[in-house]
Amino acid sequence: MDSRPFLAFSLCFLSVFTAFARLPETRMLKHSYKQSTGSVLRLKTDSSPLIFDPTRVTQLSWQPRAFLYKGFLSDEECDHLIDLAKDKLEKSMVADNESGKSVSSEVRTSSGMFLRKAQDKIVAGVEARIAAWTLLPAENGESIQILHYENGQKYEPHFDFFHDKVNQELGGHRIATVLMYLSNVEKGGETIFPNSEFKESQEKDDSWSDCSRKGYAVKAQKGDALLFFSLHLDATTDERSLHGSCPVIEGEKWSATKWIHVRSFEKLPRVSRQDCVDENENCPAWAKRGECKKNPTYMVGSEGALGYCRKSCKAC
């Protein structure tokens, strides 16, 4: 089914939904919000009620489209996500622009790991809240990636949309990113948008790092979540979505990232023939990238249905 009409509807609805949010003035944006029980949305889920408060959302810019949700995660949720990851961290990789393979690079010096989708009740609740906020289906999202930045570690400015065709085959472009801050950072570690429309007008005092002065920046504050879009409303790539993580100067930085695609990232696999085969020519490349663990439903399969890349995942 063509996903473009749904995509256009979701993006347009989101722009209307966030129209009340404040745009930053020429001076530094000062965040403040009040607890408001009258505007809290309580959505039913399979497990427990999902609370979503749109009054905590601030529109940071329209070029790129970026929004900040104050207090998206509780302290307990932040600590839980860190606990799930801290003994499983590996050096972070980047996607090669030509082959799509995961490769090591000095542009990204953090360490990280991927959780399983709906790994436990807390993870499932966070994923449901992300879907409610972004108005994008949960199945379009990748597994949450937990990242840890120590002193001096960074991620140079980059795009979240893909340049290679291999990664676009599985779910299409990444349309949106939700970046959740799991810890406070004493100094540095800001998220920076070098091409933002407000890169020149945001005032910064001595508490900001030199790196953050190269664009519009967002400080990492425990519990906050940053949503930004890598595609325009017409689904073309947005060059203003260029972003990076400034080096940590004092303390450490923990974050959680949810990338969301144009199409489903976990197609329900059909019942396939029983022999050990790959049903997509990109399976070997995806397997090398770690998709067997990150996206097991598509790659390996689930109860009663076989995946598309069982041979490359060595699942048969």
Pair 90, 177 in one domain: yes
Q: What is the mean pLDDT of the chain?
A: 82
Q: Which two tokens stand for residue 177?
A: 């990113």
For residue 24, the model assigns a pLDDT of: 43
The answer to whether 252 and 150 have CB atoms below 8 angstroms apart is yes
Looking at the predicted structure, is the pLDDT value of residue 17 above 50? no
Looking at the predicted structure, is the pLDDT value of residue 294 above 50? yes
Domain count within the chain: 2
For residue 19, the model assigns a pLDDT of: 45
Does residue 126 fall inside a structural domain? yes
Pair 17, 60 in one domain: yes
Maximum mean pLDDT: which of 45-59, 161-175, 197-211: 197-211
For residue 35, the model assigns a pLDDT of: 41
Does residue 288 fall inside a structural domain? yes
Task: Decide which of 266, 282, 301 is a domain's last residue.
Answer: 266
Pair 236, 288 in one domain: no
Q: What is the CATH number of the domain that holds 192?
A: 2.60.120.620
Give the residue-averaged pLDDT of 25-48: 46
Counting residues of the chain whose pLDDT is more than 70, the rounded percentage is 76
Give the residue-averaged pLDDT of 224-252: 96
Residues 6+ apart with CB under 8 A from 107: 94, 155, 156, 158
Tell which wins on pLDDT, 210 or 106.
210
Report the relative pairing of strands 253-261 and 174-181 from DSSP bridges: antiparallel
Pair 174, 301 in one domain: no
Pair 146, 206 in one domain: yes
Give the residue-averaged pLDDT of 100-124: 78
Looking at the predicted structure, is the pLDDT value of residue 212 above 70? yes
The residue type found at 31 is: H
Cα separation, 222 vs 203, whole angstroms: 22
Pair 144, 256 in one domain: yes
- Domain with 303 in it: 269-316
Looking at the predicted structure, is the pLDDT value of residue 27 above 80? no
Does residue 41 fall inside a structural domain? yes
Pair 217, 92 in one domain: yes
Pair 260, 273 in one domain: no
Pair 89, 152 in one domain: yes
For residue 167, the model assigns a pLDDT of: 75
Does residue 30 fall inside a structural domain? no
Pair 94, 188 in one domain: yes
Q: State if pTM tops 0.85.
A: no
For residue 151, the model assigns a pLDDT of: 93
For residue 305, the model assigns a pLDDT of: 74
Task: Decide which of 266, 282, 299 is a domain's last residue.
Answer: 266
Tell which wins on pLDDT, 114 or 3.
114
The answer to whether 192 and 215 have CB atoms below 8 angstroms apart is yes
Measuring CA to CA, how many Å separate 273 from each of 241, 267, 280, 310?
A: 42, 17, 14, 11
Task: Decide which of 266, 284, 303 is a domain's last residue.
Answer: 266
Pair 248, 311 in one domain: no
Pair 59, 186 in one domain: yes
For residue 29, the model assigns a pLDDT of: 35
For residue 97, the model assigns a pLDDT of: 53
Low-confidence winner among 5-19, 42-56, 117-131, 146-160 (lowest mean pLDDT): 5-19
